[in-house]
Amino acid sequence: MLVDEEMLADERVGNPEPQGPRLDVFLAKSLPDLSRTRIKQLILAGEVAIDGRTIWEPKLRVKPAMGISLRKPPPADPEPRAQDIPLDILFEDRHLIVINKPAGLVVHPAPGAPSGTLVNALIHHCGASLSGIGGVRRPGIVHRLDKDTTGVMVVAKTDRAHQHLGSQFADHGRTGPLIRFYTAFAWGHNQDFNGTINAPLGRDPKNRLKQAVRRDGRPAITHFKTTARYEGEGWQIGRVQCRLETGRTHQIRVHMAHIGHPLLADASYGTGFATKALRLPADLKNAVNSLHRQALHAARLGFLHPETRQEVLFEAPLPPDMQKIQDLLDPHSLK
């Protein structure tokens, strides 16, 4: 068994286990300076290769004569730095801040995005007033939006607000006033394109960066209804309102693709519909191809204010790229 000497270790070992040891277990024994949890994180991040091929599965059984390499990324800053990144602030008081997140902005530092995140912007804007419950890398973060999803987010500025908001998001609005409505443009529609998608989600076994509907996944429920329908020669698009009852990673995107109506321009979950854009009118086709992200926007967020105990509701209009698509779709509306 080889661990690449140009990486973190160089060791030859026997293999007493008939099926071979798990990859994460073997590396943890070979590299005592790294915890098994850290090694698992590195595997899932694509930092481990066997015989030159990237491996994403910590449970993989390794065998003698395999060449295993592990690249340890340089240590990240222990605390995010303040960065002067503009924020579109919808509301702010001494307890919380509500922002309209733009596309392309990662919420908190993570592998591949150590800076330039919403957290860096919030530290610059709020200073030391952010809640510390989320830890130094996620101060004040109560919930997240995907990097390329736009719309309303709330961030806690005090621990008290963080705890109260956190309990509301954990309840998912089942018994409390929390509401989260998203606006999406999806391929296809029909008269009865409304309902509930109840399909558990977990990591896609073929691509660790994606999610998939899985029997052993975590419960995920999305309510949806069509608010407008558009149609042309060879194409159909629906404007869909989605309400989350759970908050899984990529939930709306995976659920809509699961029922055969992926979101426009979704490069991860809508690849099977990429040729549909070729049938659109030229101006609409250009707008969709220029989106470079899924057509998804967190339009409304309502919750109980943690201090005033008043129900509050915040809305963000469609961002310019989605509004352009809306304007071009309007002449094709089905009444």
The domain that holds 95 is classified in CATH as 3.30.2350.10
Taking the C-alpha atoms of residue 266 and residue 185, their distance in angstroms, rounded to an integer, is 10
To the question of pTM greater than 0.85 for the whole model, the response is no
**pLDDT (0 to 100) of residue 40:** 86
Give the pLDDT mean for 96-122. 90
Residues 6+ apart with CB under 8 A from 227: 239, 240, 241
pLDDT range class, residue 285, cuts 50, 70, 90: very high
Taking the C-alpha atoms of residue 220 and residue 247, their distance in angstroms, rounded to an integer, is 7
Outline where DSSP puts E strands in the chain: 2-3, 48-50, 53-54, 67-70, 89-92, 96-101, 150-156, 179-187, 194-198, 201-204, 207-213, 221-232, 235-244, 296-304, 311-315
303, 142 contact by CB (below 8 A)? no
* Residues 237 and 148 placed together within one structural domain of the fold: no
pLDDT range class, residue 14, cuts 50, 70, 90: very low
Question: Quick check: is 6 in a domain?
Answer: yes
* Residues 65 and 134 placed together within one structural domain of the fold: no
* Residues 40 and 92 placed together within one structural domain of the fold: no
User: How long a stretch of residues is the chain?
Assistant: 335
User: Is the predicted pLDDT of residue 198 greater than 80, yes or no?
Assistant: yes
* Residues 225 and 284 placed together within one structural domain of the fold: yes
Question: Considering its fold, how many domains does the chain have in total?
Answer: 3
Which positions are catalytic? 146
**pLDDT (0 to 100) of residue 293:** 96
Q: For the ranges 32-36, 147-151, 283-287, 303-307, which has the lowest average pLDDT?
A: 32-36
**CA dihedral defined by 272, 275, 279, 283, rounded to 10 degrees?**
110
Give residue 100's domain range: 75-171
Output 65 or 312, whichever has higher pLDDT.
Answer: 312
86-100 confidence digits (pLDDT tens): 999 999 999 999 999
Question: Quick check: is 310 in a domain?
Answer: no
**pLDDT (0 to 100) of residue 176:** 85
52-62 confidence digits (pLDDT tens): 888 888 889 98
Tokens representing residue 59 in the block: 């449970």
